[in-house]
Amino acid sequence: MYKLWQILDPRGILLLIAVFLLPLGLLIHMLLLSTEDLNWWEDGRPAPLVMKAAWERADAGLPY
């Protein structure tokens, strides 16, 4: 493995990984925010009330 790092520049590889993972993470977050069920910004409920709302929906027989 050490011979591989003698051929490849570790700083370049780390930069390449960061350049790949940052847009990938942003893409995943934007895809989740674009869905109705997984959008955590516009679901209309503050974070502490999410479990209460889920219980009320389950109690009423609604999916959630």
41: CB partners within 8 A, 6+ apart: 33
pTM of the model: 0.58
Element (H, E) at 2: helix 2-7
Q: Which tokens in the block code for residue 44? A: 């209309």
- Tens-digit pLDDT profile for residues 7-63: 999 999 999 999 999 999 999 999 998 988 788 788 666 656 667 777 777 778 777
Structure tokens at 27: 């893409």
Query: What pLDDT sits at residue 47?
Result: 59
- The model's pLDDT over 3-15, given as tens digits with 9 standing for 90+, comes to 988 999 999 999 9
